[in-house]
Structure 1
Amino acid sequence: MSTPPLSAMGAPLLVLRMFSAEYAHLPAPCLDVSTVYPDLLTLSFHNDLAGFEAWRDALGIAAESVGHHVQCDGRTQVLEAEADYAGARLRLVGYAKVPASEAVRSWAEVGS
């Protein structure tokens, strides 16, 4: 399997350029563009659910469309949302620690 040319990632790179102009005031996310999914731009926020929410709101992604789960260790919660934006698939991901009391309860449920 050959590696696609840089032009194959044109849509997410264009969206990233648009975001850097239009949303420069928002918290900076971790960015991911990959040859594996050349039409996908992932914005991830580590220990910053407020950053995730700021971007979700700015992009007009409905709160009801956000998925939530806790990783199998019971200590990390994950918010995820996807949308199409200017010809690219956009994925927002937010990670945060589960409060200690919830983590203990979640771990006990997994273990039983």
Structure 2
Amino acid sequence: MSGLLTLAGLSVPMRALRTLAAEYGDLPAPAVGVSTVYPERLELSLHEGLGAFDAWRAALDIRPDEVEFREQAGNTWTLTASAPYAGAEVRLIAYGPALDTVRAGAGDGGGDA
């Protein structure tokens, strides 16, 4: 057997995506990632803010205490969580502006007083 992964080797996350699309087609569309590096993982990335994350979190039955919060470069917040679904590991990631970035855009300058 060759060490080369075939497209069939990615069938688990693609099947999970197909099942999610059928079951939760009304949820906000994420950017979708399937990789030969993690052939059992389906990555769903939400880049339009953090609001859609909660709907996906609930659909995937991820408890709030299983969500990891991080700040990137002081101007972006991320939420990350994983759950098994249809035989795959589904990794959910959301990106949104940090509070100081939102404040600065609203004209109050952001930062602390």
Give TM-score scaled by structure 1 length: 0.85
Deviations 1:6-61 (A, max 9, x none): 11111100000001111000000000001111110000101321111111011111
Identity %: 42
| Structure 1 counterpart SS, 2:81 | strand
| Structure 2 counterpart SS, 1:8 | helix
Mapping of residues 21-100 of structure 1, within 5 Å: 21-71=22-72, 73-100=73-100
Amino acid aligned to 1:83: A
Corresponding residue for residue 15 of structure 1: 16
C-alpha RMSD of matched pairs (Å): 1.9
Uncovered stretches (5+) of structure 1, i.e. residues with no partner: 106-112
Amino acid aligned to 1:96: G
| Structure 1 counterpart SS, 2:54 | helix
| Aligned positions, number | 104
| Structure 2 counterpart SS, 1:89 | strand
Following superposition, the deviation at residue 2 of structure 1 comes to 4.8
The question of whether the paired residues in 2 share the 8 Å contact of 1:74 and 1:104 is answered with: no
Amino acid aligned to 2:93: V
The question of whether the paired residues in 1 share the 8 Å contact of 2:19 and 2:86 is answered with: no
The question of whether the paired residues in 2 share the 8 Å contact of 1:3 and 1:35 is answered with: no
| Structure 2 counterpart SS, 1:19 | helix
After the TM superposition, which parts of structure 1 deviate over 3 Å for at least 4 consecutive aligned residues? none
Structure with the higher fraction of residues in helix conformation: 1
Uncovered stretches (5+) of structure 2, i.e. residues with no partner: 104-109
